[in-house]
Chains A and B, each alone.
Chain A
Amino acid sequence: MAKKDIEDVTTISETDLARLTKEASQEATPSAAKIMWREFVADKPALISLFILVAFILFVIIASLFIDVPKMMETNIMGYYAKPFTSQYWLGADAGGRSIAKELIVGSRNSICIAIGLTVISSTFGICWGLISGYFGGMVDLGMQRVYDFMMIIPMLMTIIVIVTVVPHYNAITLTLILSIFYWMGTSRLIRSRTLSESQKDYVAASKTSGTGNFKIIFREIMPNISSLIIVDTTLSFAENIGVETGLSFLGFGLPMGTPSLGTLIANANDPENITGYWWTWLPAAVEIIILCLAISYIGQVMRRTTNAAQRRGKDKK
């Protein structure tokens, strides 16, 4: 068999490499980061949301470094329900004379950090679980889905409350881990269903015939193709996860006493006296949660549009 090599048939040689690469990169499609930035510029509410969210997170993290938490949480009888907008108490004080403004800063940091941690851990796990289960199918899928079913039938909130009361010294980190155990299932089901349809497509078959390994196919071929779903799901679950910790703390099973969070601040509204007379004890935290969740969902929309070329609004500048 007279086999010729690929080199013999073409006229392209090493000398052309640099020139052709340059030509090609001029025609290249813009990178994902550039496209995302254009989308933010095209969508003003999202740009404002992004600015608010980033500035707010940076502010609470940096500002809480300068706050002495144990001292802040001390009861101060002189500040009993102090009115807001005074030089000592910007946002007033609660029944213990603690500054609401400071509590809000430290509490936001705690709540947001827990939400970020929870989202990262549970989404990563859920995505991996769904991808592997959906890609391999068969017995692997069967086994993994039974684990999923088992986790689903556990009454989540009750179990979390029990674990929280049983675990000895628990803090923000253990709480995040405990919550993570119970919040990956939704993501995994969603990802699995998309992976099932995605892994039937020809490009996966083409990768297999090209000799690419299974895990490389899963994470380098399939995962980028469901990235829009992953991004939307992660942003939404971030907004949701702020609510998870807040809700638990509101019920009194979240962070331990002496650690402020958005939930404990909103829990002030449990007291009818606070609701009617002392609005400053609970309203700022409630407004903050609404603003945060709105901002996150705006940002999520932009990210979804970035990953879907048909929905883009940003101008295609060369």
Chain B
Amino acid sequence: MVGESGSGKSTTAKAIIGLEKATSGTVTYKGKDVIQAENRRKLHYNHDVQMIFQDSLSSLNPRKRIEDIIAEPLRNFEHLSKDAEKLRVLQLLDIVGLDPDALYKYPHQFSGGQRQRIGVARAVATHPRLIIADEPVSALDLSVQAQVLNFMKKIQRDFGISYLFISHDLGVVRHMCKNIAIMNRGRIVEMGSREDIYDHPMHIYTKRLLAAIPETNVTHRKEHRQRRLEIEKIYQEQHQRYYDKDGMAFPLTQVSATHAVALPPDEAQQYRQNKRNEGVTI
């Protein structure tokens, strides 16, 4: 999930995991609405859905040892014996590439990348099905970002975990995600597979966002600048059309099997028409 800051990405994530109350709508898991805290408890929802936070320092309790931090979800859900629990923590530390002597240390004794890996280890501890990663690497420098992301990918491969990966960094998203949703002004404006979004962006905001990715190729600097300015010009001329009179995006219109865009009503009408026509010809 991508979007500018303040577009509601984190709020969506928090509503999904149950940290924030949704004002309306539902989140369904195993046929139950998990907005209700009672349903979450009954389903052991947080056993299956975990979260990685943006700020690695404040997401680890500064007064607890690493062992206790990683073991916390285990203690709540799995009730292992003391030795089994310690062994599991050591294994988790090994998976994220930390030494066993981290066990009795405190969070402030680690670097940012190491702390974020501890956060990953905690999220993986109960073997969840979905991990919500709320900008997990945006506070880290580039080399450490790559390291943490690769650990996350490795874990995904090994354990078959789904990620809801929230970011504003399109490069990272391209590396990590198969399906992408673009958020703007509190609504999803475009949703589709990686190819849909990067190769055929349809919403004006997505186009502008993609144009903002910096290019490192110096020889084509002029052309890139030209193209960016062009898209910016189009955006300035047309963006009125893509939002209703309250400044909100329109409802999503399905344009292909994987691709949905918040098109303005007239274009959406056209697509629906096309679809109907296709149906007739078949």
- Are A225 and B90 in contact, with the CB atoms below 8 A? no
B86 at the A interface (CB under 8 A): yes
Interface centre among A21, A208, A210 (most CB of B within 10 A): A210
B100 touches A24 (CB 8 A): yes
Query: A139 contacts the other chain (Cβ, under 8 Å)?
Result: no
B91 and A29: CB pair below 8 A?
A: no
Q: Which residues of B contact A2 (CB under 8 A)?
A: 160
Listed stretches A6-14, A118-126, A152-160, A268-276; interface member: A6-14
Complex contacts, A17 vs chain B, CB 8 Å: 83, 86-87, 90
Task: Report the interface size class on chain A.
Answer: 35 or more
Judge whether B180 is part of the interface by a CB distance below 8 angstroms: no
Q: How many A-B contacts at CB < 8 Å in the complex? A: 126
A203 & B59 in contact (Cβ 8 Å cutoff): yes
| A14, A20, A27, A202 pick with most chain B CB within 10 angstroms | A202
Q: Does B61 lie within 8 Å of A9, measured CB to CB?
A: no
Residues of A close to B237: CB separation below 8 A: none
Contact B86 A27 (CB under 8 A): no
Bound complex: CA of A73 vs CA of B61, how far in Å? 56
Chain A stretch 164-222: residues in CB contact (< 8 A) with chain B? 201-203, 205-212, 221
CB pair A209–B90 under 8 Å, yes or no, is no
Check A23 for interface membership: any CB of B closer than 8 A: yes
Q: Report how far A221 CA is from B62 CA in the complex, Å.
A: 9
Chain B residues with CB under 8 A of A309: 108
The residue from A9, A27, A212 contacting B101, defined by CB atoms under 8 A apart: A27
Decide yes or no whether B50 CB sits under 8 A from chain A: yes
- B104 cross-chain contacts in A, Cβ below 8 A: 24-25, 27-29
Measured CB to CB, the closest approach of chain A to B116, in angstroms, equals 12
Please give the distance in Å from A233's CB to the nearest CB on chain B: 18
Q: Is B103 an interface residue (CB 8 A)?
A: yes
Q: Give every chain A residue within 8 A of B4 (Cβ-Cβ).
A: none
Instruction: Given A2-B160, A205-B53, A206-B53, decide whether A221 and B61 contact each other with a Cβ distance below 8 A.
Output: yes
Q: Cβ of B63 and Cβ of A206 under 8 Å apart?
A: no
Query: A317 within 8 Å of B by Cβ?
Result: no
Complex: A9 Cα to B53 Cα, angstroms: 24
Q: Is A316 an interface residue (CB 8 A)?
A: no
Complex CA–CA separation, A309 to B109 (angstroms)? 12
Query: Judging by beta carbons under 8 Å apart, are B90 and A12 in contact?
Result: yes
Given A27-B104, A202-B53, A209-B51, do A7 and B91 touch, yes or no (CB 8 Å)? yes
With contacts A7-B91, A12-B90 known, is A205 near B101, CB below 8 A?
no
In this assembly, does B168 line the interface, its C-beta being within 8 Å of a C-beta of chain A?
Answer: no
Task: Check A203/B106 contact, CB under 8 A, given A3-B159, A4-B158.
Answer: no
How many Å from the CB of B53 to the closest CB on chain A? 5
Q: Which residues of A contact B119 (CB under 8 A)?
A: 206
Bound: A202/B124 CA distance, A: 17
Chain B CB within 8 A of A68 CB: no
A205 CB contacts on chain B under 8 angstroms: 14, 19, 51, 53, 59
Contact A225 B87 (CB under 8 A): no
- Asked if B102 is an interface residue, CB under 8 A from chain A, the answer is yes
Give which listed residue, B19, B61, B94, B160, contacts A203 with CB less than 8 A: B61
Q: Mark B53-97, 1 if CB is under 8 A from A, else 0.
A: 111001111111100000011001100000100111011101100
Can you spell out 21 A-B residue pairs with CB atoms less than 8 angstroms apart? A1-B160, A9-B95, A10-B94, A17-B86, A17-B87, A17-B90, A24-B101, A24-B102, A25-B104, A29-B105, A203-B61, A205-B19, A205-B53, A206-B53, A206-B61, A208-B18, A209-B46, A210-B73, A211-B44, A211-B73, A221-B63
Q: Which residues of A contact B (CB under 8 A)?
A: 1-14, 16-17, 20-21, 23-29, 201-203, 205-212, 221, 224-225, 227, 309
- Please list the residues of chain B having a beta carbon within 8 angstroms of any beta carbon in chain A: 14, 17-19, 44, 46-47, 49-51, 53-55, 58-65, 72-73, 76-77, 83, 86-88, 90-92, 94-95, 100-106, 108-109, 119, 122, 124, 127, 158-160
